[in-house]
Amino acid sequence: MTARQQWSIVAAIVVVLGGALFVASRMLGDQLYPVSVGSKAPEFHATTVDSTPRTQSLADYKGQVVLLNIWGTFCVPCRDEMPAIEKLHQALGAQGLKVVAISMDDPGFEQQIRDFAKQYSLTFQILYDPSGKIVNDYQTTGVPETFVIARDGVIRKKVIGASDWNSTTNRALIAQLLAEPGK
């Protein structure tokens, strides 16, 4: 076998491997690039549950500190953590914190979501994603799952399960992020 034939075989192998990597990155993108602390927050689209529904997206909060909570009306731990999220919102909302809670309830649950928000006296942004796309986009494992997104769009904290969002530690993190200059 000549040197030219050997190099042709090597080139063919490189092309095949490159093609396989390209296809794998397209097909397994979510698994190859997990949504985690330090990664860019994925875009989302969800609808308000008020009398005139409108679509909101992460782009609507660009340059702001966002606490993104993915929840459901059926979720007992979600019910446990909502009062703490409301207290955090009351304490730091005026300083610029945007709390966005996206319900992933089934289609047709708008009234139950409104009733839930009223029951817990929630004053932050409540959105609804009946398609469940946010679950895939944020690679959630259940509800509640919460992401703290800094002004630069990078996830700074991810919590699976209920948390005391009004705790000293969580408030300090949010206050630190609010103190960072906007981009």
Per residue in 120-170, pLDDT (tens digit) is 999 999 999 999 999 999 999 999 999 999 999 999 999 999 999 999 999
Same domain, 22 and 64: no
Same domain, 21 and 62: no
- The CA dihedral of 165, 76, 139, 147, to the nearest 10 degrees, is -10
Same domain, 123 and 162: yes
Same domain, 80 and 11: no
Q: What is the pLDDT of residue 169?
A: 96
Query: Please, which pLDDT band fits residue 25 given cuts at 50, 70 and 90?
Result: low
Predicted TM-score (pTM) of the model is 0.83
Residue 28 has pLDDT above 60, yes or no: no
Same domain, 47 and 27: no
Same domain, 118 and 164: yes
- The CA dihedral of 171, 41, 111, 86, to the nearest 10 degrees, is 0
For the chain, what is the domain count?
2
Same domain, 90 and 165: yes
Beta bridge partners of 45: 57
Find the angle CA(137)-CA(144)-CA(28) to the nearest 5 degrees.
25
Same domain, 19 and 100: no
Same domain, 66 and 150: yes
Closest to 95 measured CA to CA, from 173, 154, 152, 174: 174
Closest to 82 measured CA to CA, from 129, 48, 116: 116
Same domain, 76 and 159: yes
Find the angle CA(58)-CA(63)-CA(69) to the nearest 5 degrees.
40
Same domain, 58 and 24: no
Per residue in 59-110, pLDDT (tens digit) is 999 999 999 999 999 999 999 999 999 999 999 999 999 999 999 999 999 9
Same domain, 85 and 109: yes
CATH number at residue 154: 3.40.30.10
| Structural domain range at position 26 | 1-33
